[in-house]
Amino acid sequence: MEHQVHIIGGGMAGSEAAWQLARRGIRVRLSEMRGGGDTTPAHQSDGLAELVCSNSFRSDDHEKNAVGLLHEEMRRCDSLLMAAAEKARVPAGSALAVDRDVFSAAVEEALRSLPTLEIVRERVDVLPQDGLAIVATGPLTAPALAGSIGAATGADSLAFFDAIAPIVYRDSIDMNVAWMASRWDKGAEASLALGGDGRDYINCPMTKEQYFAFWEELQAGEKTEFREWEANTPYFDGCMPIEVMAARGPETLRFGPMKPVGLDNPHWATPEHPNGRWPYAVVQLRQDNKLGTLWNMVGFQTKLKYAEQVRIFRTIPGLENAEFARLGGLHRNTFLNSPTLLDRQLRLKSAPHIRFAGQITGCEGYVESASVGLLAGLMAAAELAGRNWTPPPRTSALGALLSHITGDAEAESFQPMNVNFGLFPPLADVKKKQRKEAYTERAKADLRDWLPTLA
């Protein structure tokens, strides 16, 4: 089949872009190197839209949360990935978490049902010289293609490290020590609707003495050594390894992933704990698959060596006999200096037949990556139809993220960014407590007016 658009990369962004184009009858070639003899250091399968890090799309609250608002806007744009997430959803309080295998299978099944879409398992080593193309190879772009991108941009790509959290088998967790609860019982209603019981996290409590012993072990544990070419690559703050956070100070973890507030330990309502039932620190685990057999250690991305992970993480109360379905890991992510290199339609200024989408543009997070793929697909569809492209409102989550990537950010200090209300145009005369709700109300109203521009 002769294609009209060539999409390179079958991850979150590439899959979403392919859906937006092919469901409009546009002929698409989707090239994915996994399954064709190649893979990456982080992927474990050849499935399209594989989730390689967390299984969470973060908060689904679209009334006062920026990423939840982005979920809602994507749904209104007929997002494939949001639809697949609903099919694969598992209880996680107010968050949108999925069974990663069910999610990937749902995405691939939907794409294969489109008659104008051809999925080809092949590695692409050079940027296309002509014809419309969308490069959505993500932060793990293969070296040859990365070199071709570097030659086309005339500048070195920026880079950072991304770390993966371990996954634990549920039946190896000691529930006589750990307990089920959501912080402040938040999201209980949403959890119940999904078949949960409102207590969607496993919580492992620590006393002060246990916490500081654990903190010291993190400092002393043997870490993965960097290669020479990796030595000066910075971490992204949103995926900071647990031991790197710990190195910032002895209390840092208690105000981050090991925050104890809102978690009342029922096991400690005894005379042995005269100071109350509140732990000094808590390690939380979140359900990772629909069966409930796998649980992700929330915020425990790590570059500790495998043997050290097992040894140190088994000192956590409740995880003394933990069995790990996957240990943590570390991989290098690369991204473009998009404010300098891309125009407002995600096109490479030096080769405007090529668009970029997803994490390689400098957005961060599953949902953000998919949303930029969605926009790239819509832009290409408008171009092929000969229509003028109307960008999403700057006041919407889609518009705010796109504006950050393509020009609002400072090029000299450009770094990967999750969607957040700091990217939105400020609202005047709105009290701080009402600001988030005001942002979302304005965004929904403005997006409603924009949606009819899509075809």
DSSP code, position 406: I
Torsion sign, CA atoms 4, 10, 14, 19: positive
C-beta separation of 288 from 166 below 8 A: no
* 3-state SS class at 446: helix
Does residue 231 surpass a pLDDT of 70? no
**Alpha carbon of residue 454 to chain centroid:** 26
The CA-atom distances, in angstroms, between 361 and each of 53, 370, 371, 438, 439 are 19, 12, 12, 29, 25
* Whole-number Å distance between alpha carbons of 119 and 7: 10
| Vertex 196 angle, CA 75 and 111, to 5° | 35
pLDDT at residue 25 in the model: 97
Q: How many CB atoms lie under 10 A from the CB of residue 112?
A: 11
* Whole-number Å distance between alpha carbons of 277 and 181: 14
Q: Which CATH code, of 3.40.50.2300, 3.40.190.10, 1.20.140.10, 3.50.50.60, is assigned to 5-157+336-453? A: 3.50.50.60
Point out the least confidently predicted range of 136-145, 195-204, 270-279, 281-290: 270-279
Average pLDDT over residues 32-48: 82
Residue 125 C-beta-side C-alpha neighbours within 13 Å: 2
Per-domain residue ranges of the chain: 5-157+336-453, 164-332
Reported confidence tier of residue 291, pLDDT bands at 50, 70, 90: confident
> What CATH number should be reported for the domain whose range is 164-332?
2.40.30.260
Torsion sign, CA atoms 248, 250, 252, 253: positive
pTM for this entry: 0.79
Binding residues for FAD: 9-14
Average pLDDT over residues 281-295: 89
Provide the mean pLDDT of the chain.
89
pLDDT at residue 40 in the model: 75
Question: Which residues make Cβ contacts (< 8 Å) with residue 227, sequence separation at least 6?
Answer: none
Which of 50-59, 250-259, 290-299 shows the highest mean pLDDT? 250-259
